[in-house]
Amino acid sequence: MPLRKYRSVEEMPSPRWSERLDPENLRRACDVSALAGRLHPRRFPAGLHKYRSIEDASEARRGWELHDVAPSERS
């Protein structure tokens, strides 16, 4: 595929939209999901974890998610 140089974004052709019920859309969605998983894999502690309540489990999950987010993305 040849590379083309544009002076501004306005000169660029708009992206091609796919049809709404195109069967290829599912494959594209799976490819994007797999790419996201490779670029930033989710990591969870190994093993079985028991909690006394739903609140304890939710708090542990929040900790895992906070640890999984890059430091620049934390609020």
**In terms of pLDDT, which residue wins out, 75 or 11?**
11
Q: What is the pLDDT of residue 32?
A: 95
Burial of 28 (0-12, 13-18, 19+ CB in 10 A): exposed
Using a cut of 0.75, tell me whether the model's pTM lies above it.
Answer: no
pLDDT tens figures, 21-62: 899 999 999 999 999 999 988 777 888 999 999 999 999 999
**Overall size of the chain counted in residues:** 75
pLDDT at 20 over 70: yes
31-36 contact pairs (CB < 8 A, 24+) = none
Kindly indicate the confidence band of residue 75, based on its pLDDT and cuts at 50, 70 and 90: low
